[in-house]
Structure 1
Amino acid sequence: METTSRAVAQAPAAEGGARFPSARRTVDGYLLAPFPWYGLDEAFTGPRWLMQVGTSADGSVEHGSTGHGDEPSVRNEFVSGSPDEPREKFAVVVTVAANPVRRSADGTGLLEATSVSSAAWLAGVGLLSFTWPGQMDHALRDDWLEQQTETAWVLADDLSGPAWSSLSLPVDGVPTPFHYRESEFGWVLAGSTAQGVHVGAYGRGMSAYGLGFAMIKDITAYAG
Protein backbone atom coordinates (compact mmCIF):
# COMPACT_ATOMS: atom_id res chain seq x y z
CA MET A 1 0.00 0.00 0.00
CA GLU A 2 3.01 2.33 -0.06
CA THR A 3 1.96 5.20 -2.31
CA THR A 4 1.91 8.95 -2.56
CA SER A 5 -1.65 8.53 -1.29
CA ARG A 6 -0.16 8.04 2.17
CA ALA A 7 1.27 11.54 2.16
CA VAL A 8 -1.99 12.96 0.84
CA ALA A 9 -4.05 11.25 3.50
CA GLN A 10 -1.83 12.67 6.26
CA ALA A 11 -2.29 16.29 5.25
CA PRO A 12 -2.94 18.29 8.45
CA ALA A 13 -6.57 18.80 9.31
CA ALA A 14 -7.97 22.07 10.56
CA GLU A 15 -8.01 22.40 14.33
CA GLY A 16 -10.27 24.11 16.85
CA GLY A 17 -13.44 22.97 15.12
CA ALA A 18 -12.56 24.75 11.88
CA ARG A 19 -13.93 23.53 8.58
CA PHE A 20 -11.77 22.61 5.64
CA PRO A 21 -11.27 25.46 3.14
CA SER A 22 -13.74 25.73 0.29
CA ALA A 23 -10.90 25.13 -2.19
CA ARG A 24 -11.26 21.42 -1.50
CA ARG A 25 -14.62 21.51 -3.25
CA THR A 26 -13.22 21.73 -6.76
CA VAL A 27 -14.55 19.02 -9.03
CA ASP A 28 -11.70 19.21 -11.55
CA GLY A 29 -9.64 16.39 -10.07
CA TYR A 30 -12.66 14.10 -9.87
CA LEU A 31 -13.38 14.63 -13.55
CA LEU A 32 -9.84 13.49 -14.43
CA ALA A 33 -10.26 10.08 -12.80
CA PRO A 34 -10.33 7.11 -15.23
CA PHE A 35 -12.56 5.14 -12.82
CA PRO A 36 -16.11 5.58 -11.50
CA TRP A 37 -16.76 7.33 -8.20
CA TYR A 38 -18.93 5.88 -5.47
CA GLY A 39 -21.16 7.45 -2.85
CA LEU A 40 -24.18 6.56 -0.76
CA ASP A 41 -27.13 5.32 -2.80
CA GLU A 42 -30.39 7.18 -3.38
CA ALA A 43 -31.81 6.04 -0.04
CA PHE A 44 -29.69 8.79 1.50
CA THR A 45 -31.46 12.11 0.95
CA GLY A 46 -29.19 14.47 2.92
CA PRO A 47 -26.44 16.86 1.77
CA ARG A 48 -23.62 15.60 -0.44
CA TRP A 49 -20.26 17.33 -0.89
CA LEU A 50 -16.80 16.89 -2.34
CA MET A 51 -13.64 16.41 -0.31
CA GLN A 52 -10.28 15.79 -2.03
CA VAL A 53 -8.56 13.48 -4.50
CA GLY A 54 -5.21 11.72 -4.16
CA THR A 55 -2.74 11.35 -7.01
CA SER A 56 0.16 9.09 -7.95
CA ALA A 57 3.71 10.23 -8.66
CA ASP A 58 2.83 10.99 -12.28
CA GLY A 59 -0.22 13.04 -11.33
CA SER A 60 -2.84 10.40 -12.14
CA VAL A 61 -5.86 10.39 -9.85
CA GLU A 62 -5.80 7.24 -7.69
CA HIS A 63 -8.47 7.85 -5.08
CA GLY A 64 -10.84 10.42 -3.67
CA SER A 65 -13.59 10.97 -1.13
CA THR A 66 -17.19 12.15 -1.19
CA GLY A 67 -19.04 13.35 1.90
CA HIS A 68 -22.60 12.82 3.06
CA GLY A 69 -24.52 14.49 5.88
CA ASP A 70 -23.05 17.15 8.15
CA GLU A 71 -19.68 18.51 7.10
CA PRO A 72 -17.43 17.39 9.96
CA SER A 73 -14.96 19.51 11.87
CA VAL A 74 -12.11 18.54 14.16
CA ARG A 75 -13.58 18.80 17.65
CA ASN A 76 -12.95 17.79 21.23
CA GLU A 77 -14.67 18.51 24.52
CA PHE A 78 -12.81 21.81 24.89
CA VAL A 79 -13.95 23.28 21.57
CA SER A 80 -17.42 21.75 21.27
CA GLY A 81 -18.64 23.59 24.37
CA SER A 82 -20.27 20.61 26.06
CA PRO A 83 -19.67 16.86 26.19
CA ASP A 84 -23.43 16.48 25.69
CA GLU A 85 -23.45 18.44 22.44
CA PRO A 86 -24.38 16.15 19.52
CA ARG A 87 -21.59 15.24 17.16
CA GLU A 88 -22.01 15.81 13.46
CA LYS A 89 -23.65 12.96 11.60
CA PHE A 90 -21.68 12.09 8.50
CA ALA A 91 -20.42 9.31 6.27
CA VAL A 92 -17.51 9.68 3.87
CA VAL A 93 -17.06 7.26 0.97
CA VAL A 94 -13.54 6.65 -0.35
CA THR A 95 -13.12 5.31 -3.90
CA VAL A 96 -9.77 3.70 -4.74
CA ALA A 97 -8.80 2.66 -8.26
CA ALA A 98 -7.83 -1.01 -8.50
CA ASN A 99 -4.33 -0.65 -9.94
CA PRO A 100 -2.37 -3.92 -10.25
CA VAL A 101 0.83 -2.13 -11.35
CA ARG A 102 2.00 1.27 -10.11
CA ARG A 103 5.36 2.97 -10.49
CA SER A 104 7.40 4.49 -7.69
CA ALA A 105 7.94 8.25 -7.49
CA ASP A 106 11.36 8.06 -9.19
CA GLY A 107 10.03 5.80 -11.95
CA THR A 108 12.62 3.10 -11.28
CA GLY A 109 10.44 0.49 -9.61
CA LEU A 110 6.96 -0.82 -8.97
CA LEU A 111 4.74 -0.32 -5.93
CA GLU A 112 2.35 -2.75 -4.31
CA ALA A 113 -0.99 -2.93 -6.07
CA THR A 114 -3.92 -1.10 -4.53
CA SER A 115 -6.31 -3.38 -2.68
CA VAL A 116 -9.16 -3.47 -0.19
CA SER A 117 -6.48 -2.79 2.43
CA SER A 118 -5.67 0.47 0.64
CA ALA A 119 -9.30 1.54 0.99
CA ALA A 120 -9.40 0.45 4.62
CA TRP A 121 -6.27 2.44 5.47
CA LEU A 122 -7.41 5.60 3.69
CA ALA A 123 -10.78 5.37 5.46
CA GLY A 124 -9.10 4.83 8.82
CA VAL A 125 -6.82 7.83 8.39
CA GLY A 126 -9.74 9.89 7.11
CA LEU A 127 -11.65 9.27 10.33
CA LEU A 128 -8.59 10.24 12.37
CA SER A 129 -8.35 13.55 10.52
CA PHE A 130 -11.59 14.62 12.24
CA THR A 131 -10.59 13.36 15.68
CA TRP A 132 -8.98 15.08 18.63
CA PRO A 133 -9.22 13.30 22.03
CA GLY A 134 -10.69 15.65 24.59
CA GLN A 135 -8.07 14.97 27.25
CA MET A 136 -5.22 15.88 24.90
CA ASP A 137 -3.59 19.28 24.51
CA HIS A 138 -3.69 20.47 20.88
CA ALA A 139 0.13 20.73 20.88
CA LEU A 140 0.34 16.94 21.20
CA ARG A 141 -2.17 16.19 18.44
CA ASP A 142 0.43 15.75 15.69
CA ASP A 143 2.26 13.09 17.71
CA TRP A 144 -1.02 11.36 18.50
CA LEU A 145 -2.12 11.48 14.86
CA GLU A 146 1.16 9.97 13.67
CA GLN A 147 0.88 7.14 16.17
CA GLN A 148 -2.75 6.42 15.32
CA THR A 149 -2.00 6.56 11.59
CA GLU A 150 0.56 3.79 11.99
CA THR A 151 -2.00 1.79 13.96
CA ALA A 152 -4.54 2.24 11.16
CA TRP A 153 -1.88 1.04 8.70
CA VAL A 154 -1.29 -2.14 10.72
CA LEU A 155 -5.02 -2.81 11.08
CA ALA A 156 -5.63 -2.34 7.36
CA ASP A 157 -2.93 -4.88 6.56
CA ASP A 158 -4.73 -7.50 8.67
CA LEU A 159 -8.32 -7.46 7.49
CA SER A 160 -8.77 -11.07 8.59
CA GLY A 161 -7.68 -10.18 12.13
CA PRO A 162 -9.84 -9.87 15.26
CA ALA A 163 -10.21 -6.08 14.93
CA TRP A 164 -12.49 -6.57 11.93
CA SER A 165 -15.91 -8.14 11.53
CA SER A 166 -17.92 -8.97 8.40
CA LEU A 167 -20.78 -6.85 7.14
CA SER A 168 -22.90 -7.21 4.00
CA LEU A 169 -24.13 -4.00 2.37
CA PRO A 170 -25.64 -3.28 -1.05
CA VAL A 171 -23.36 -1.92 -3.77
CA ASP A 172 -25.26 -0.99 -6.93
CA GLY A 173 -28.10 -3.04 -5.48
CA VAL A 174 -26.02 -6.20 -5.02
CA PRO A 175 -25.22 -7.53 -1.49
CA THR A 176 -21.46 -7.13 -1.08
CA PRO A 177 -19.14 -8.25 1.75
CA PHE A 178 -17.26 -5.59 3.70
CA HIS A 179 -14.68 -5.58 6.45
CA TYR A 180 -15.94 -3.46 9.35
CA ARG A 181 -14.60 -2.11 12.64
CA GLU A 182 -15.69 0.38 15.26
CA SER A 183 -13.71 2.60 17.63
CA GLU A 184 -14.49 5.35 20.11
CA PHE A 185 -14.07 7.82 17.25
CA GLY A 186 -16.46 6.24 14.73
CA TRP A 187 -16.54 3.34 12.29
CA VAL A 188 -14.54 2.22 9.23
CA LEU A 189 -15.37 -0.29 6.51
CA ALA A 190 -13.89 -1.46 3.21
CA GLY A 191 -14.80 -3.74 0.31
CA SER A 192 -14.63 -4.06 -3.49
CA THR A 193 -17.07 -3.45 -6.34
CA ALA A 194 -17.79 -5.14 -9.63
CA GLN A 195 -16.72 -1.92 -11.39
CA GLY A 196 -13.01 -2.35 -10.74
CA VAL A 197 -12.66 -0.08 -7.71
CA HIS A 198 -12.30 -0.59 -3.98
CA VAL A 199 -14.62 1.28 -1.64
CA GLY A 200 -13.85 2.40 1.88
CA ALA A 201 -16.04 4.44 4.17
CA TYR A 202 -15.92 6.06 7.58
CA GLY A 203 -18.29 8.06 9.71
CA ARG A 204 -19.93 8.72 13.02
CA GLY A 205 -23.42 9.60 14.15
CA MET A 206 -24.81 7.52 11.25
CA SER A 207 -25.13 3.76 11.51
CA ALA A 208 -23.05 1.87 8.96
CA TYR A 209 -25.53 -1.00 9.03
CA GLY A 210 -28.18 0.92 7.14
CA LEU A 211 -25.97 2.24 4.35
CA GLY A 212 -25.89 1.34 0.68
CA PHE A 213 -23.42 2.40 -2.01
CA ALA A 214 -23.88 3.23 -5.66
CA MET A 215 -21.82 4.49 -8.57
CA ILE A 216 -22.18 8.27 -8.88
CA LYS A 217 -23.78 9.17 -12.19
CA ASP A 218 -22.80 12.86 -12.08
CA ILE A 219 -19.97 13.84 -9.73
CA THR A 220 -20.61 17.53 -10.40
CA ALA A 221 -23.82 17.19 -8.37
CA TYR A 222 -21.60 16.92 -5.28
CA ALA A 223 -19.98 20.29 -5.96
CA GLY A 224 -23.03 22.14 -4.67
Structure 2
Amino acid sequence: METTGRSGVQEVATGAPGAAATQVAQAAQGMPADARRTIDGYLMAAFPWYGLDEAFTGPRRLMQVGASADGTVEHGSTGHGDEPSLRAETDAEARDRQRFVVVVTVASRPLRRSADGTGVLEATSVSSAAWLAGSGLLSCTWPSRMERALRQDWLEQQTAIAWELADDLGGEGWSQLSLPVDGEPATFHYRESEYGWVLAGSAREGVHLGAYGRGMSAYGLGFSVVKDIASYT
Protein backbone atom coordinates (compact mmCIF):
# COMPACT_ATOMS: atom_id res chain seq x y z
CA MET A 1 0.00 0.00 0.00
CA GLU A 2 1.31 3.44 -0.88
CA THR A 3 0.92 6.46 1.36
CA THR A 4 1.97 10.04 0.77
CA GLY A 5 3.62 11.98 3.57
CA ARG A 6 3.82 15.71 4.27
CA SER A 7 6.69 16.16 1.79
CA GLY A 8 4.99 14.21 -1.01
CA VAL A 9 7.18 11.17 -0.41
CA GLN A 10 5.50 7.81 -0.85
CA GLU A 11 6.20 4.83 1.37
CA VAL A 12 6.86 2.04 -1.10
CA ALA A 13 9.04 -0.96 -1.63
CA THR A 14 10.71 0.35 -4.79
CA GLY A 15 11.91 -1.82 -7.64
CA ALA A 16 15.43 -2.04 -9.04
CA PRO A 17 15.53 -1.03 -12.69
CA GLY A 18 18.66 -0.41 -14.77
CA ALA A 19 22.24 -1.15 -13.81
CA ALA A 20 21.41 -1.60 -10.13
CA ALA A 21 19.42 -4.75 -10.93
CA THR A 22 22.59 -6.87 -10.86
CA GLN A 23 23.53 -5.63 -7.38
CA VAL A 24 20.01 -6.30 -6.13
CA ALA A 25 19.96 -9.78 -7.61
CA GLN A 26 23.29 -10.69 -6.02
CA ALA A 27 22.29 -9.42 -2.58
CA ALA A 28 18.88 -11.10 -2.77
CA GLN A 29 20.06 -14.55 -3.88
CA GLY A 30 18.43 -17.26 -1.83
CA MET A 31 15.95 -14.90 -0.15
CA PRO A 32 12.18 -15.52 -0.12
CA ALA A 33 10.26 -13.40 -2.64
CA ASP A 34 8.85 -11.07 0.03
CA ALA A 35 12.31 -10.41 1.43
CA ARG A 36 13.69 -9.67 -2.04
CA ARG A 37 10.95 -7.12 -2.69
CA THR A 38 11.59 -5.45 0.65
CA ILE A 39 15.34 -5.12 0.22
CA ASP A 40 15.15 -3.62 -3.29
CA GLY A 41 14.32 -0.12 -2.05
CA TYR A 42 17.13 -0.12 0.48
CA LEU A 43 19.67 -1.15 -2.16
CA MET A 44 18.52 1.64 -4.50
CA ALA A 45 19.22 4.40 -1.95
CA ALA A 46 22.06 6.80 -2.75
CA PHE A 47 22.85 7.30 0.94
CA PRO A 48 24.01 4.98 3.75
CA TRP A 49 21.54 3.33 6.08
CA TYR A 50 21.93 3.48 9.84
CA GLY A 51 20.98 1.10 12.61
CA LEU A 52 22.02 0.31 16.16
CA ASP A 53 25.71 -0.47 16.52
CA GLU A 54 27.22 -3.88 17.32
CA ALA A 55 26.47 -3.51 21.02
CA PHE A 56 22.89 -4.52 20.16
CA THR A 57 22.77 -8.29 19.70
CA GLY A 58 19.03 -8.84 19.26
CA PRO A 59 16.99 -9.39 16.09
CA ARG A 60 17.09 -6.83 13.29
CA ARG A 61 14.66 -6.29 10.41
CA LEU A 62 13.93 -4.07 7.44
CA MET A 63 10.72 -2.09 7.71
CA GLN A 64 9.81 0.44 5.02
CA VAL A 65 11.38 2.92 2.62
CA GLY A 66 9.92 6.19 1.38
CA ALA A 67 10.44 7.23 -2.24
CA SER A 68 9.54 10.35 -4.21
CA ALA A 69 7.32 10.23 -7.28
CA ASP A 70 10.32 9.59 -9.55
CA GLY A 71 11.40 6.59 -7.50
CA THR A 72 14.24 8.31 -5.62
CA VAL A 73 14.55 6.79 -2.16
CA GLU A 74 14.33 9.55 0.47
CA HIS A 75 14.13 7.75 3.82
CA GLY A 76 13.59 4.41 5.48
CA SER A 77 13.58 2.52 8.77
CA THR A 78 15.42 -0.40 10.32
CA GLY A 79 13.90 -2.29 13.25
CA HIS A 80 15.59 -3.75 16.31
CA GLY A 81 14.15 -6.03 18.97
CA ASP A 82 10.46 -6.89 19.03
CA GLU A 83 8.28 -5.99 16.09
CA PRO A 84 6.01 -3.08 17.14
CA SER A 85 2.44 -4.35 17.30
CA LEU A 86 -0.84 -2.63 18.01
CA ARG A 87 -2.09 -5.87 19.52
CA ALA A 88 0.02 -5.10 22.57
CA GLU A 89 -2.14 -2.04 23.22
CA THR A 90 -5.05 -4.27 24.24
CA ASP A 91 -2.98 -6.05 26.88
CA ALA A 92 -1.10 -3.96 29.45
CA GLU A 93 1.19 -6.85 30.32
CA ALA A 94 2.08 -7.45 26.67
CA ARG A 95 2.66 -3.72 26.19
CA ASP A 96 5.07 -3.64 29.11
CA ARG A 97 6.98 -6.57 27.61
CA GLN A 98 7.48 -4.91 24.22
CA ARG A 99 11.10 -3.89 23.64
CA PHE A 100 11.96 -2.26 20.34
CA VAL A 101 13.96 0.52 18.70
CA VAL A 102 13.35 1.76 15.17
CA VAL A 103 16.07 3.84 13.49
CA VAL A 104 14.99 6.23 10.73
CA THR A 105 17.53 7.39 8.12
CA VAL A 106 16.62 10.50 6.10
CA ALA A 107 18.66 11.69 3.12
CA SER A 108 19.87 15.28 3.50
CA ARG A 109 18.18 17.14 0.62
CA PRO A 110 17.97 20.83 -0.33
CA LEU A 111 14.77 22.54 -1.40
CA ARG A 112 14.13 21.12 -4.88
CA ARG A 113 11.57 20.87 -7.65
CA SER A 114 9.26 17.89 -7.81
CA ALA A 115 9.81 15.24 -10.48
CA ASP A 116 6.93 16.54 -12.62
CA GLY A 117 8.15 20.14 -12.38
CA THR A 118 4.85 21.40 -10.98
CA GLY A 119 6.02 22.19 -7.46
CA VAL A 120 8.83 21.93 -4.94
CA LEU A 121 9.78 19.41 -2.28
CA GLU A 122 10.75 20.74 1.12
CA ALA A 123 14.37 20.54 2.20
CA THR A 124 14.99 17.78 4.71
CA SER A 125 16.38 18.54 8.16
CA VAL A 126 16.64 17.14 11.66
CA SER A 127 12.99 18.17 12.02
CA SER A 128 12.15 15.80 9.15
CA ALA A 129 13.75 12.93 11.06
CA ALA A 130 11.93 13.97 14.25
CA TRP A 131 8.60 14.05 12.41
CA LEU A 132 9.11 10.62 10.84
CA ALA A 133 10.18 9.14 14.19
CA GLY A 134 7.28 10.76 16.05
CA SER A 135 4.69 9.63 13.52
CA GLY A 136 6.28 6.16 13.48
CA LEU A 137 5.86 5.82 17.23
CA LEU A 138 2.31 7.09 16.94
CA SER A 139 1.46 4.53 14.24
CA CYS A 140 2.24 1.61 16.55
CA THR A 141 0.83 2.96 19.81
CA TRP A 142 -2.61 4.42 19.09
CA PRO A 143 -5.38 3.22 21.43
CA SER A 144 -6.97 0.32 19.55
CA ARG A 145 -9.81 0.00 22.08
CA MET A 146 -11.08 3.49 21.31
CA GLU A 147 -14.31 3.84 19.31
CA ARG A 148 -13.48 4.26 15.61
CA ALA A 149 -14.72 7.85 15.15
CA LEU A 150 -12.96 9.02 18.31
CA ARG A 151 -9.83 7.14 17.27
CA GLN A 152 -9.61 9.13 14.03
CA ASP A 153 -9.96 12.39 15.92
CA TRP A 154 -7.28 11.24 18.35
CA LEU A 155 -4.92 10.31 15.53
CA GLU A 156 -5.39 13.64 13.77
CA GLN A 157 -4.80 15.53 17.00
CA GLN A 158 -1.71 13.55 17.96
CA THR A 159 -0.31 13.78 14.42
CA ALA A 160 -0.64 17.57 14.51
CA ILE A 161 1.08 17.67 17.91
CA ALA A 162 3.92 15.46 16.61
CA TRP A 163 4.48 17.82 13.69
CA GLU A 164 4.44 20.91 15.89
CA LEU A 165 6.97 19.31 18.24
CA ALA A 166 9.23 18.33 15.34
CA ASP A 167 9.08 21.89 14.04
CA ASP A 168 10.25 23.30 17.39
CA LEU A 169 13.25 21.23 18.42
CA GLY A 170 14.50 24.04 20.61
CA GLY A 171 11.27 24.13 22.60
CA GLU A 172 10.44 22.87 26.07
CA GLY A 173 9.21 19.54 24.72
CA TRP A 174 12.78 18.44 23.96
CA SER A 175 15.97 17.85 25.92
CA GLN A 176 19.45 17.10 24.60
CA LEU A 177 21.12 13.73 24.64
CA SER A 178 24.65 12.81 23.50
CA LEU A 179 24.98 9.40 21.83
CA PRO A 180 27.71 7.83 19.68
CA VAL A 181 27.29 7.80 15.90
CA ASP A 182 29.98 5.80 14.11
CA GLY A 183 31.95 5.93 17.35
CA GLU A 184 31.86 9.74 17.66
CA PRO A 185 29.62 11.64 20.10
CA ALA A 186 26.67 13.42 18.50
CA THR A 187 23.93 15.59 19.99
CA PHE A 188 20.32 14.49 19.64
CA HIS A 189 17.02 16.12 20.49
CA TYR A 190 15.11 13.77 22.80
CA ARG A 191 11.65 13.55 24.32
CA GLU A 192 9.60 10.98 26.20
CA SER A 193 5.87 10.34 26.34
CA GLU A 194 3.54 7.74 27.78
CA TYR A 195 3.86 5.83 24.49
CA GLY A 196 7.66 5.69 24.30
CA TRP A 197 10.51 8.00 23.32
CA VAL A 198 11.66 9.83 20.19
CA LEU A 199 15.02 11.33 19.27
CA ALA A 200 16.51 13.07 16.22
CA GLY A 201 19.90 14.36 15.12
CA SER A 202 22.36 14.19 12.22
CA ALA A 203 25.17 11.90 11.09
CA ARG A 204 28.37 12.76 9.25
CA GLU A 205 27.38 10.80 6.15
CA GLY A 206 24.97 13.39 4.79
CA VAL A 207 21.90 11.96 6.50
CA HIS A 208 19.63 12.89 9.37
CA LEU A 209 18.77 10.27 11.97
CA GLY A 210 15.60 9.71 13.92
CA ALA A 211 14.71 6.90 16.29
CA TYR A 212 11.79 5.82 18.43
CA GLY A 213 11.33 3.02 20.88
CA ARG A 214 9.71 1.52 23.91
CA GLY A 215 10.97 -0.84 26.60
CA MET A 216 14.62 -0.10 25.73
CA SER A 217 16.36 2.95 27.17
CA ALA A 218 17.63 5.46 24.64
CA TYR A 219 20.47 6.46 26.96
CA GLY A 220 22.62 3.41 26.23
CA LEU A 221 22.19 3.34 22.45
CA GLY A 222 24.78 3.85 19.72
CA PHE A 223 24.27 4.17 15.96
CA SER A 224 26.44 3.10 13.05
CA VAL A 225 26.30 2.66 9.29
CA VAL A 226 24.76 -0.65 8.22
CA LYS A 227 27.58 -2.39 6.36
CA ASP A 228 25.41 -5.18 4.96
CA ILE A 229 21.74 -4.29 4.60
CA ALA A 230 20.98 -7.90 3.64
CA SER A 231 21.86 -8.92 7.20
CA TYR A 232 18.62 -7.23 8.31
CA THR A 233 16.50 -9.72 6.39
| TM-score, normalised with respect to structure 1 | 0.85
Shift in Å at residue 138 of structure 1?
4.4
Aligned to 1:192: 202
TM-superposition CA deviations, 1:176-207 (whole Å, max 9, x none): 00000000000000000110000000000000
Aligned to 1:3: 7
Matching of residues 104-183 of structure 1 within 5 Å: 104=114, 106-133=116-143, 136-183=146-193
Shift in Å at residue 108 of structure 1?
2.4
Which one of the candidate residues 203, 214, 223 is aligned to 1:213? 223
TM-superposition CA deviations, 1:12-56 (whole Å, max 9, x none): xxxxxxxxxx95871010000000000000000000001000011
Which segments of 5 or more consecutive residues in structure 2 lack a partner in the other structure? 13-32
Tell me if 1:90 matches 2:137: no
CA distance in 1, matches of 2:34, 2:135: 21
Aligned to 1:27: 39
Which one of the candidate residues 77, 81, 106 is aligned to 1:69? 81
> What SS is found at the alignment partner of 1:39?
strand
Compared with structure 1, are the counterparts of its residues 96 and 58 closer, same or farther at alpha carbon in structure 2 (3 Å cutoff)? Answer: same
Paired letter, 2:39: V
Extract structure 1 runs of 4+ deviating beyond 3 A.
22-25
CA distance in 1, matches of 2:45, 2:137: 23
TM-superposition CA deviations, 1:100-147 (whole Å, max 9, x none): 133236422322210000000000000001012366224532332222
Contact 1:41–1:212, Cα closer than 8 Å, also in 2: yes
Compared with structure 1, are the counterparts of its residues 147 and 37 closer, same or farther at alpha carbon in structure 2 (3 Å cutoff)? Answer: same
Which segments of 5 or more consecutive residues in structure 1 lack a partner in the other structure? 10-21
Paired letter, 1:122: L
Matching of residues 18-57 of structure 1 within 5 Å: 23=34, 26-57=38-69
Paired letter, 2:57: T
Compared with structure 1, are the counterparts of its residues 51 and 134 closer, same or farther at alpha carbon in structure 2 (3 Å cutoff)? Answer: closer
Aligned to 1:13: none
Aligned to 2:110: 100
The structure having more radius of gyration, on CA atoms, is 2
CA distance in 1, matches of 2:164, 2:44: 31
Aligned residues: 207
> What SS is found at the alignment partner of 1:75?
helix
Contact 1:76–1:134, Cα closer than 8 Å, also in 2: no
> What SS is found at the alignment partner of 2:87?
coil
Compared with structure 1, are the counterparts of its residues 118 and 201 closer, same or farther at alpha carbon in structure 2 (3 Å cutoff)? Answer: same
CA distance in 1, matches of 2:121, 2:64: 22
Shift in Å at residue 75 of structure 1?
3.4
